[in-house]
Chains A and B, each alone.
Chain A
Amino acid sequence: MAAGGIKSGRYGRVRWNPSGTVASPMSLAAIASLNTWKLSMKTNKTDVTCFGDTNKVYVPGLPDISGSFGGFWNSSALELFTAAQDGSSPGLLELTPNDSADEQDFNFSGLGYLDADIDVSLDVPKVSGTFVAAGPWTLAT
Chain B
Amino acid sequence: MNSSAILNALIAKLGADATLLGYMPNGVYEDNAPEGQGMTKFVIVSHVITNDVDVFGGRAYEDALFLVEARATVKSGGNVAAAAAEIDALLDPRPGASPSRATLDVAGYGLMAIKREEFVRNTERDEIDPTIVWKRRGGRYRVQMVIT
Closest Cβ of chain B to A6, distance in Å, is 17
- Which B residues are CB-close (under 8 A) to A9? 56
Q: Is A132 an interface residue (CB 8 A)?
A: no
The proximity string for B residues 110-122 relative to A, scoring 1 for CB distances below 8 Å and 0 otherwise, is 0010000000000
- Which B residues are CB-close (under 8 A) to A71? 55-56
Closest Cβ of chain A to B141, distance in Å, is 15
Q: Is A14 an interface residue (CB 8 A)?
A: yes
What are 29 A-B pairs at a CB distance below 8 A?
A9-B56, A10-B54, A10-B56, A10-B57, A10-B58, A11-B56, A11-B57, A12-B56, A13-B56, A13-B57, A14-B56, A30-B56, A32-B55, A33-B55, A33-B60, A34-B55, A34-B56, A35-B54, A35-B55, A35-B56, A35-B60, A71-B55, A71-B56, A72-B55, A99-B56, A124-B53, A124-B61, A124-B112, A124-B144
The proximity string for B residues 127-146 relative to A, scoring 1 for CB distances below 8 Å and 0 otherwise, is 00000000000000000100
The proximity string for B residues 32-69 relative to A, scoring 1 for CB distances below 8 Å and 0 otherwise, is 00000000000000000000011111101100000000
**Bound-state Cα–Cα, A34 to B56, Å:** 6
The proximity string for A residues 4-32 relative to B, scoring 1 for CB distances below 8 Å and 0 otherwise, is 00000111111000000000000000101
Q: Find the B residue at minimum CB distance from A12.
A: B56
**Bound-state Cα–Cα, A34 to B53, Å:** 11
Within 8 A of B (CB), among A45-100: 71-72, 99
- Which A residues are CB-close (under 8 A) to B55? 32-35, 71-72
- Which A residues are CB-close (under 8 A) to B112? 124
Asked if B56 and A72 make an inter-chain contact with CB atoms under 8 angstroms apart, the answer reads no
- Which A residues are CB-close (under 8 A) to B54? 10, 35
The proximity string for A residues 96-108 relative to B, scoring 1 for CB distances below 8 Å and 0 otherwise, is 0001000000000
- Which A residues are CB-close (under 8 A) to B56? 9-14, 30, 34-35, 71, 99
Closest Cβ of chain B to A132, distance in Å, is 22
- Which A residues are CB-close (under 8 A) to B57? 10-11, 13, 99
**Bound-state Cα–Cα, A35 to B61, Å:** 12
Given contacts A35-B56, A35-B60, 13 further A-B contacts (CB under 8 A): A10-B58, A11-B56, A12-B56, A30-B56, A33-B60, A34-B56, A35-B55, A71-B55, A71-B56, A72-B55, A99-B57, A124-B53, A124-B61
